[in-house]
């Protein structure tokens, strides 16, 4: 993508700021955020920052492409404030799409979720049955249903959803502001580097399809470039257990910190995730380039430089 005017909602957040900084090298990028979780400190100087809410009128949607990443983005956030979560995640999506379309934008890529697949050790294809077992799942699946409507109703609009799988970068990148909402790779690395035992739920055998944010950024860009109008997994298809993750972190840091184990405190806990990325590969040629071993090394590097 080059010489394109781009709006990224949630643009100062973890994924949004990485996308904004990358695209701003060759494009005119606006990062819009209300400051709820992100921080403009994540943005490079060549990104235009606009403080606004996705529920506002008169958003800066006179652009060529919108990446709609703004959301209350966790199960916990929706349980604490379900009405606001639904407003932001569904009504905010509708508000952005409506304003963008009215301003002549024809390409929208939005964040959905992979958690609606539930717990699966086999690769999850996009066409399998989904279940909204949490309010967060329900709100993001609401986005997908509205996107279906927009794709059917407007011939001149392409709206594509990305189901992210366990995106990480580490506190040395733009993930530090997330704190307790950061990926477990980042949280556990920080704890082990500081001599603290990470707490794992269950016996540590749960698996995640950990995907480095650089690969996610490339995936989002490819979805916009190809003007897709469906829902696509962005993952690796190669899950690792939490126990394996701890071992990789210790190897990278040269430490030997043992984890602690506690009973799983949640109902409907997703024990395993794994993406089937056949659809996005066939549609755009995208596939992940950063192995989990390499990704963990990148997360650990800032601690080795201290």
- Number of domains into which the chain is organized: 2
Q: Residue 76: which CATH number?
A: 3.40.50.720
Of 105, 134, 100, the C-alpha closest to 117 is 134
- Residues in CB range of 300: below 8 A, 6 or more apart: 170, 189, 193, 249, 252, 253
**158 and 172 assigned to the same domain:** no
User: Do the bridges between strand 207-208 and strand 199-201 make them parallel or antiparallel, or are there none, so unpaired?
Assistant: unpaired
The sheet that has 28-33: what strands, in order across it?
48-51, 28-33, 5-9, 65-68, 107-111, 158-164, 231-234
**107 and 68 assigned to the same domain:** yes
| 86 to 71, 90, 134, 135: CA distances (angstroms) | 9, 6, 12, 8
**270 and 280 assigned to the same domain:** no
Quick one: tokens of 80? Answer: 């604490």
**86 and 36 assigned to the same domain:** yes
Supply φ then ψ for residue 186, to 5 degrees.
Answer: -70, -45
Mean pLDDT, the chain, as a whole number?
Answer: 95
**224 and 264 assigned to the same domain:** no
Token pair 């269950």: residue: 202
**175 and 30 assigned to the same domain:** no
**124 and 191 assigned to the same domain:** no
Would you say 199 and 260 are in contact if contact means Cβ atoms under 8 Å apart? yes
Q: Residue 262: which CATH number?
A: 3.90.25.10
Quick one: tokens of 26? Answer: 């060759």
**51 and 176 assigned to the same domain:** no
pLDDT band at 105 (very low <50, low <70, confident <90, very high): very high
N-to-C CA span, the chain: 36
> Does the annotation count 136 as an active-site position?
yes
**17 and 153 assigned to the same domain:** yes
The pLDDT tens digits of the residues spanning 261-287 come to 999 998 888 999 999 999 999 999 999
H-assigned helices in the chain = 14-23, 75-80, 82-86, 92-102, 135-153, 184-193, 213-225, 242-253, 278-284, 292-304
The rounded percent of the chain whose pLDDT value lies above 90 is 88
The pLDDT tens digits of the residues spanning 39-93 come to 999 999 999 999 999 999 999 999 999 999 999 877 777 678 889 888 999 999 9
pLDDT at 306 over 90: no
Range of the domain at 294: 168-207+239-274+290-304
Name the pTM for this structure: 0.96
**229 and 269 assigned to the same domain:** no
**84 and 220 assigned to the same domain:** yes
- Residues in CB range of 226: below 8 A, 6 or more apart: 283, 284
- Point out the catalytic residue in the list 110, 117, 136, 240: 136
- Residues in CB range of 169: below 8 A, 6 or more apart: 14, 18, 175, 183, 186, 212, 213, 214, 298, 299
The pLDDT tens digits of the residues spanning 130-185 come to 988 888 899 999 999 999 999 999 999 999 999 999 999 999 999 988 888 899 99
Would you say 16 and 33 are in contact if contact means Cβ atoms under 8 Å apart? yes
**153 and 22 assigned to the same domain:** yes
Token pair 């993406």: residue: 275
The pLDDT tens digits of the residues spanning 116-140 come to 999 999 999 999 999 888 888 999 9
């Amino acid at each position: 993508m080059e010489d394109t005017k781009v709006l990224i909602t949630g643009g100062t957040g973890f994924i949004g700021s990485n996308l904004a900084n990358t695209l701003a090298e060759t494009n005119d990028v606006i990062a819009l955020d209300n400051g709820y979780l992100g921080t403009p400190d994540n943005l490079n100087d060549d990104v235009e920052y606009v403080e606004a809410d996705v529920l506002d009128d008169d958003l800066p949607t006179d652009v060529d492409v919108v990446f709609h990443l703004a959301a209350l983005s966790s199960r916990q956030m929706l349980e604490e404030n379900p009405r606001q979560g639904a407003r932001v995640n569904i009504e905010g999506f509708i508000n952005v799409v409506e304003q963008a379309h009215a301003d002549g934008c024809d390409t929208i890529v939005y964040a959905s979720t992979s958690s609606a697949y539930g717990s699966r050790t086999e690769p999850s294809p996009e066409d399998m049955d989904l279940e909204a077992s949490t309010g967060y799942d329900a709100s993001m699946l609401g986005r997908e249903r509205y996107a279906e409507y927009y794709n059917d109703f407007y011939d001149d609009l392409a709206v594509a959803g990305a189901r992210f799988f366990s995106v990480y970068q580490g506190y040395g990148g733009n993930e530090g502001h997330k704190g307790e909402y950061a990926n477990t790779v980042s949280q556990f690395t920080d704890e082990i580097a500081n001599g603290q035992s990470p707490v794992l739920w269950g016996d540590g055998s749960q698996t995640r399809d950990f995907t480095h944010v650089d690969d996610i950024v490339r995936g989002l860009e490819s979805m916009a470039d190809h003007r897709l109008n469906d829902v696509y997994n962005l993952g690796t298809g190669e899950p690792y257990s939490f126990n394996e993750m701890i071992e990789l972190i210790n190897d990278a840091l040269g430490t030997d910190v043992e984890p602690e184990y506690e009973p799983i405190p949640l109902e409907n806990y997703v024990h395993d995730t794994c993406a089937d990325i056949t659809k996005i590969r066939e549609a755009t040629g995208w596939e992940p380039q950063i192995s989990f071993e390499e990704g963990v090394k990148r997360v650990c590097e800032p601690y080795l430089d201290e």
